Amino acid sequence: MATPSEEQYPWQEPANPVSRGAFIVVEGLDRAGKSTQVKKLCDRLYAEGHNVKAIGFPANGYTLICDRYYYSGIVYSAAKQLPSLSLAWARQPEVGLPRPDRVVFLDLDPEAAAKRGGYGDEKYEKREMQERVKELFLGLLGKRGEESSDLFVVNAGVGIEDVA
């Protein structure tokens, strides 16, 4: 995610912490619109009076919105389909990491992703890989047990404003 100026994104101003903020994660396939939706969500929450940061680690008083988190590491590792990189193996590093208050998964058909600008520039932007990643994401996020009420699957195949 590019580093914008403070004038461009006022939600990057320092906070005056009064209470704990929220930890929101936005996940999705490559080209699903994660960076765009993180900016939109930050703008919206800031307009509603929340202290918001899109980078860093959850600090007192901030709502932190991450453009990817450990879920991506898990599913992209497992999607390589190497015997030594099973889903169970890939989940081990997440032990002890803070659980997000919300996880937003931007669901996009790999064929639709391929039609977006810049597709194919990244190492894993291949249809077969993206199909495995999507399957693993939905499976992983569906197995979160009691935490699944904090998971939101959003159709990223519609317009930017419709997703926001």
The answer to whether 63 and 24 are in contact (CB under 8 A) is yes
Residue 123 makes CB contacts below 8 A (sequence gap 6+) with none
The domain spans of the chain are 10-163
3-class secondary-structure state, position 77: helix
User: What is the model's pTM?
Assistant: 0.59
Q: Does the pLDDT of residue 111 top 80, yes or no?
A: yes
pLDDT in tens, 127-157: 888 888 888 888 877 765 544 567 788 999 9
Among 25-39, 73-87, 95-109, the range scoring the smallest mean pLDDT is 73-87
On the question of pLDDT at 74 being above 90, the answer is no
The pLDDT of 114-139, averaged and rounded, is 80
**Inter-residue contact 11 to 46 (CB < 8 Å):** yes
SS3 100: coil
User: For the CA atoms of the chain, what is the radius of gyration?
Assistant: 16
CB contact burial 72-95 (16+ within 10 A = b; e otherwise): bebbbbbbeeeeeeeeeebbeeee
Topology of domain 10-163 in CATH is: Rossmann fold (3.40.50)
Backbone angles phi and psi of 8, in degrees to 5: -70, -40
Task: For 42-70, write each residue's pLDDT tens digit.
Answer: 999 999 998 888 863 455 677 778 888 88
CA distance 143 to 136: 11
